[in-house]
Amino acid sequence: MKTTFATLALSATIALGAGHSALAQDMDQLTLQLKWVTQGQFAGYYVAKDKGFYEAVNLDVEIKPGGPDIAPPQVIAGGGADVVVDWMPSALASREKGVALVNIAQPFKRSGMMLTCRKETGIESPDDFKGKTLGVWFFGNEYPFLAWMSKLGIPTEGGEEGVEVLKQGFNVDPLIQKQADCISTMTYNEYWQVIDAGYTEDDLVVFNYTDQGVATLEDGLYVLEEDLADPAMVDKYARFVAASMKGWEYARGNPDEAAEIVLENDATGAQTEEHQKRMVGEINKLTEGSDGTLDVAAAESTVETLLSGGSDPVITKAPEGAWTDVVTEKAKEVEMK
């Protein structure tokens, strides 16, 4: 049988492919469900995968984008993910309803949540919310807003002494089209969409949840409590957290490259380079100084805010076992190549 160069090349290619396949099979599999679509908000995870940080700790990580109809707690409860990115209000509400989520790491140290209002409406302070229409995200994102209104003593059923809640889509159209006096925005995303739509900073009045004393923890990493009883899973989570935090560190040091990596992973093609670079820059302000360790005081403050919901609180009692430092402590022992 005559052996040609092409035959040898094909054989080598097949062998190489088989080698890669075997390598992938040898690595531990882990699926991460994001809270929203592929964007700079999740740059650290995409960077960790792109730069080989997960592979360096023997992990093959699948990153699943979210969307308007995807609730991370439901995904993990249904076995569709090992780890989810979620906001603590949503996670705690889910925990109270029977999905035993546990925070294993908190890459975001600060909240990016805001309420952005058109100055022309006459709103200057929270006292001016009464009688106004406010855009609010749902699918678990409404909890911080409802807790804030409860703290202010403002009903959310409308009327002169209350506010009319507009179920806001994941865009800024209600403000632009003047269907709402204020809308929910994030410092790294929707606020800049309003600016890009032609408004100036002087046209707007912004209420940052942190400044209002009602900030809650966002974009934490959550797993099911039952899985933490398995030492092998804890070890896998620790390696995942260590590599992810290295990804976030790299994103802070190389924001433009991080944004490019995000764009390469955007299968929809909907994201723009300018917006993603700006988003990564703003996100880096929220992760700065974090090694993934949860600030327990901030978690307890989140719980306190959620419990202040009057007759209809987000959660009815302080949770037990809703966070742990077992994973982040073990992550400190992981050797990153």
Provide the CATH number for the domain around residue 124.
3.40.190.10
Does some domain include residue 4? no
Lowest-confidence region among 19-28, 251-260, 289-298: 19-28
For the chain, the farthest-separated pair of C-alpha atoms sits apart, in whole angstroms, at 90
Lowest-confidence region among 9-23, 35-49, 62-76: 9-23
The set of residues, in sequence order, having a beta carbon less than 8 Å from that of 150 and lying 6+ positions away, is 308, 309, 310, 312, 313
Residue 263, classed as helix, strand or coil, is: helix
The token duo for 16 is: 């190489």
Same domain, 226 and 321: yes
Does some domain include residue 183? yes
Please give the angle made by the CA atoms of 288, 291 and 296, to the nearest 5 degrees: 100
Residue 58, classed as helix, strand or coil, is: coil
Q: Burial level of 294, CB count in 10 A (0-12/13-18/19+)?
A: buried
Fill in the DSSP letter of residue 3: P
Q: How many CA atoms lie within 13 A of 171 on its CB side?
A: 7
Question: In angstroms, rounded to a whole number, what is the distance separating the alpha carbons of residues 260 and 19?
Answer: 29
Answer yes or no: is pLDDT of 16 > 80.
Answer: no
Same domain, 65 and 126: no
pLDDT per position as a tens digit, 73-92: 999 999 999 999 999 999 99
Same domain, 92 and 147: no
Select from 208, 227, 244 the last residue of a domain: 208
Does some domain include residue 228? yes
Contact 259, 280 (CB under 8 A): yes
How far is Cα of residue 182 from the mean position of the Cα atoms in its chain? Answer: 22
CA-wise closest residue to 249 among 33, 43, 64, 57: 43
Same domain, 89 and 226: yes
Does some domain include residue 18? no
Q: How many domains does the chain have?
A: 2
The set of residues, in sequence order, having a beta carbon less than 8 Å from that of 212 and lying 6+ positions away, is 126, 148
Same domain, 223 and 106: yes
Same domain, 31 and 122: no
Same domain, 99 and 123: no
Same domain, 224 and 105: yes
Same domain, 125 and 136: yes
Select from 180, 208, 236 the last residue of a domain: 208
Does some domain include residue 336? no
Same domain, 178 and 195: yes
Does some domain include residue 17? no
Lowest-confidence region among 57-66, 80-89, 188-197, 313-322: 313-322
Does some domain include residue 3? no
Select from 183, 208, 233 the last residue of a domain: 208
Domain span holding position 246: 27-110+217-331
Question: In angstroms, rounded to a whole number, what is the distance separating the alpha carbons of residues 30 and 58?
Answer: 10
Question: In angstroms, rounded to a whole number, what is the distance separating the alpha carbons of residues 109 and 296?
Answer: 11
Q: Indicate whether this model's pTM tops 0.85.
A: yes
Does some domain include residue 9? no
Same domain, 96 and 242: yes
pLDDT per position as a tens digit, 251-273: 999 999 999 999 999 999 989 99
The set of residues, in sequence order, having a beta carbon less than 8 Å from that of 245 and lying 6+ positions away, is 44, 105, 107, 290, 291, 292, 331
Lowest-confidence region among 2-6, 118-122, 213-217, 236-240: 2-6
Same domain, 124 and 178: yes
